[in-house]
């Protein structure tokens, strides 16, 4: 099989909205995944939730801590469990990608986790300090 290159914007549009063969779409998606461009691969499949490659994208996003992608998949109707988001947030933290981790912790309402990583976040994204109870 010929090596597939990363497509330009027009080719991506044809793959997503046109009548491209499934094999071509999958080959390009696999190339994008190998190039660590999972979000772009997801764009080819966000309207095809039952496609086998969606499972591959999900596993890779979990492994790589790509919480933005997992939450996009969740919004599109894929069943992404809270435990999976926690796992991805921890993977993001381990990779030093604290904005990805923050995104998951916010979605989960995990205030304790947000406070735990606050020093790693830009000041404007840190949780507000709790005020002591007034007497």
Q: Could you tell me if residue 111 is inside a domain?
A: yes
> For residue 123, what are the contacts with CB-CB under 8 A and spacing of at least 6?
none
Tens-place pLDDT, residues 36-46: 999 999 999 88
The closest of 75, 45, 2, 47 to 60, measured between CA atoms, is: 45
Q: Could you tell me if residue 1 is inside a domain?
A: no
Domain that holds residue 76: 9-122
For the chain, how many structural domains are there in total? Answer: 1
Can you give the pTM of this predicted structure? 0.82
Q: Could you tell me if residue 24 is inside a domain?
A: yes
Tens-place pLDDT, residues 55-91: 999 999 999 999 999 999 999 989 999 999 999 999 9
The closest of 45, 134, 94 to 86, measured between CA atoms, is: 94
Contact 117, 82 (CB under 8 A): no
Q: Could you tell me if residue 86 is inside a domain?
A: yes
């Amino acid at each position: 099989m010929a090596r597939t290159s990363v497509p330009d914007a027009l080719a991506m549009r044809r793959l997503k909205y046109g009548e491209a063969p499934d094999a071509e779409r999958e080959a390009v998606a696999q190339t994008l995944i190998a190039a660590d461009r999972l979000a772009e691969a997801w764009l080819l499949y966000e309207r095809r939730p039952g496609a086998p490659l969606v499972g591959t994208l999900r596993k890779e996003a979990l492994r790589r801590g790509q919480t933005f992608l997992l939450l996009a998949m969740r919004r599109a109707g894929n069943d992404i469990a809270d435990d999976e988001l926690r796992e991805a947030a921890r993977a993001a933290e381990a990779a030093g990608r604290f904005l990805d981790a923050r995104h998951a912790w916010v979605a989960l309402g995990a205030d304790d986790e947000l406070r735990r990583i606050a020093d790693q976040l830009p000041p404007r994204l840190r949780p507000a300090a709790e005020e002591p109870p007034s007497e």
